Amino acid sequence: MKPTTNFVAIDLGASSGRLAVGRWDGSRFALEELHRFSNGGVRAHGSIYWDVLHLWSEIKTGLTRYAAKYDASPAGISVDTWGVDFALLDGSGRLLGNPHHYRDPRTDGMPDRVFAQIPQSNVFGKTGIQSMQINTLFQLFSMAVSKDPRLDAAASLLMTPDLFNFWLSGEKANEYTISSTSQMVDCRERDWHRAMIEELGIPSHVLGEIVAPGTPLSQIRTDVLRDCGLKEAFPVIAGASHDTASAVAAIPFLDEHSAFISSGTWSLMGVETSEPITTDRALSLNFTNEGGVGGTIRLLKNITGLWLLQECVRQWQQEGREYSWNGIVSLAREAEPLRSIVDPDAGDFLAPENMPRAIRAYCARSGQPQPETDGEFARCCFESLALRYKSVLGALELLTGRTLNTIRVVGGGSRNQLLCQFTADACQRPVVAGPVEASSLGNVMMQAVATGNMESIPSGRQYIAASCEIVSYEPQFSEQWITAFDRFRDLGKTQVFKAVQG
């Protein structure tokens, strides 16, 4: 057997987290899961928080399992997470309260208040970021207008992966890919847009130096080594700390004629570019220009992905119905095709207490049959998402002037054969699915490059292609999808009309 170099990838998603060992033997990657655990928002006193101390405990559990299995310490460790959320620390590096969840209602109405001070076109022209009320900019602005004492007491702001890298290494750094999701980074200068931040009453002194993806930080702290039973120190690396950036870094054969979808709770659909696109059309279509690896920009759309179905499953569990994901897919296959469709990005689905009820209400308002069975709800979620992908694909071609011949899907949704086939059928493009664990593989690959164990990101993508199962889906033509897309495009107008009339 070839000797291997081990790296630990900590990949935290909005619904689950995992620690994995990435073994690199010079020609292939092998990924082994060490520890998996649940994650999610915690509701308390009208707010929604992240339990970061629970996540830290789970990270240390995973490292303890590594120490029990392997004699030698890994060659590196890195954290990637979802975007936009952050922690505030005092001058001694202590956490100032529980970090808020991006779905917390404190940002309700905040975009309009920000744009009353600074025109949206100016914000987009500088940051290139899609305006969503969950963004860091609006979270911080809500704290400024409410005079939240934590903001006054803060000495530093760390995005979520930066917080865990700090707890691992003792070094504070704001990694570029995750910082770019904040809507506070100048997309051309690739540094904080401090003038805008200060104009909104947000203290800019809490923002530290932005470092490039793949930057080694300090060695792991001695107390973490001791607590987890690890023997020798090793570097903590600020890789591509945004999980989407890590996932896209791991996509094989991604070229100018490919669109990508990183599919999970959120679906991030886009293309890689060399420069941001901040035209009026990009603004009107509400696209975003997030920082990528190797000097790239990820022009993409944030789409509400499997969140709708995940919340349906949670509701069904509360009602005593338990399904495996394979079971859900089987139910969806048996349901009538394209009976009920919704816009997954409608505000109705941001954080409802009962997702099936919200879907039924949406269908009723738009004059459609309401889903009745669990299979009908599941099929509605899958088909609606595929139709949303089609609309975004057309917008990407319009903005870039490219012909996008292939859709490359990575992440958890890439193993969903039904959704992949629906995507191919709706978009009339081949879908190439895999790798499933793209965020972890991208995390490991960036560590290998940062430590000199691999020559470059392009070569890393080739090695990933040789290491993983890739599945292709050919589009099947159906008039039903064409008719359904016409209905889908009319949904927004119908919903606005119903709201005005109601």
Residues 298-356: tens digit of each pLDDT: 999 989 999 999 999 999 999 999 999 999 999 999 999 999 999 999 999 988 999 99
Neighbours of 48 (CB within 10 A): 18
DSSP 95: B
Q: Residue 362: pLDDT band by 50, 70, 90 thresholds?
A: very high
Segment (H or E) for 18: strand 16-24
* Contact of 106 with 47, CB cutoff 8 Å: yes
Q: Is 112 a catalytic residue?
A: no
**Separation in Å, CA 378 to CA 335, 354, 489:** 9, 15, 21
DSSP 348: G
Instruction: Tell me the CATH architecture of domain 5-242.
Output: 2-Layer Sandwich (3.30)
State the pLDDT at residue 15: 86
Q: Residue 493: pLDDT band by 50, 70, 90 thresholds?
A: low
**pTM for this structure?**
0.88
Fold of the CATH domain 244-303+391-473:
Nucleotidyltransferase; domain 5 (3.30.420)
> What is the widest separation between alpha-carbon atoms in the chain?
70
| Region 158-164 average pLDDT | 98
- Taking only the tens place, the pLDDT of each residue in 91-144 is 999 999 999 999 999 999 999 999 999 999 999 999 999 999 999 999 999 999
What percentage of the chain exceeds 70 in pLDDT? 98
DSSP string, 111-179: HHHHHHHS-HHHHHHHH-----TTSHHHHHHHHHHTT-HHHHH-SEEEEHHHHHHHHHHS---EEHHHH
Domain limits, CATH 3.30.420.40, in the chain:
5-242, 244-303+391-473
Q: Cα separation of 20 and 62, whole Å?
A: 8
* Contact of 254 with 362, CB cutoff 8 Å: no
State the pLDDT at residue 316: 98
Side by side, the strands of the sheet bearing 215-219 are 29-38, 16-24, 5-12, 77-81, 235-238, 215-219
Q: Cα separation of 402 and 409, whole Å?
A: 19
What are the helix (H) ranges across 229-373?
Answer: 243-249, 280-284, 307-318, 325-334, 355-365
SS (H, E, C) 411-428: CHHHHCHHHHHHHHHHHC
pLDDT at 502 over 50: no
DSSP 317: H
Q: Cα separation of 483 and 367, whole Å?
A: 16
**Separation in Å, CA 272 to CA 178, 190, 260, 341, 413:** 16, 16, 9, 30, 20
pLDDT at 497 over 90: no
Q: Which amino acid is at 359?
A: I
Please identify which of the residues 243, 343, 374, 425 carries the catalytic annotation: 243
Would you say how long the chain is, in residues?
Answer: 502
State the pLDDT at residue 14: 87
